[in-house]
Amino acid sequence: MDHTAFSPATTAAQTADTGVTLVVCSSCRDETGSDARPRAGEILGDRVREIAHGEGIAVRQIECLGNCKRRLSAAMLRENCWSYVFGDLTVDNAVEFVAGAKLFATSQDGLLPWRGRPDCLKRGLIARIPPASLLKDFS
């Protein structure tokens, strides 16, 4: 399984269809805090990859998104759009996470729509991060 960090060349090729990349924390533990391998985050990432296969959605796993208190964590990215970080996910949320990515891919305004968003992506929202083009210099 590929749990490496982003490679710009690979990511660009993988996101050619929808422009959406899903990033799943492979080091996240389940609700028991078990150190057993594979960890729950790794299992979630593998399931997301299987479900997203052929959908034009890139799926990457990375060690630690730094959101350990909210257990299984993942992010949703789209170039020149808002990015999203989610927590409190479960292994069973893989289908919903991919459904959210499909919804995000069709967004005209660069935001993940609230209407139609799976519940785990409503409850589990940690942060949304604006695209650099929207940042203003206040100096």
pTM attached to this predicted model: 0.85
Contact 86, 41 (CB under 8 A): no
pLDDT tens for residues 55-81?
Answer: 999 999 999 999 989 989 999 999 999
At residue 46, what are phi and psi to the nearest 5 degrees?
-65, -40
Q: Give CA–CA dist 127/124, Å, rounded.
A: 9
Sketch out the chain's domains with CATH numbers.
8-134 (3.40.30.10)
Q: Give CA–CA dist 44/39, Å, rounded.
A: 9
What's the N-to-C CA distance of the chain in angstroms?
A: 45
pLDDT tens for residues 92-111?
Answer: 999 999 999 999 999 999 99
Q: What is the pLDDT of residue 30?
A: 85
Strands lying side by side in the sheet with 83-89: 58-62, 20-25, 72-78, 83-89, 125-129
Q: What is the pLDDT of residue 2?
A: 43
Q: Give CA–CA dist 85/92, Å, rounded.
A: 18
Q: Which amino acid does the sequence have at 40?
A: A
Where residue 138 falls among pLDDT bands split at 50, 70, 90? Answer: confident
Q: CA distances (Å), 85 to each of 18, 37, 115, 128, in order?
A: 19, 24, 18, 6
pLDDT tens for residues 6-58?
Answer: 333 344 444 447 899 999 999 999 888 888 899 999 999 999 999 999 999 99
User: Hunting for tokens 């919903």 — which residue is that?
Assistant: 96
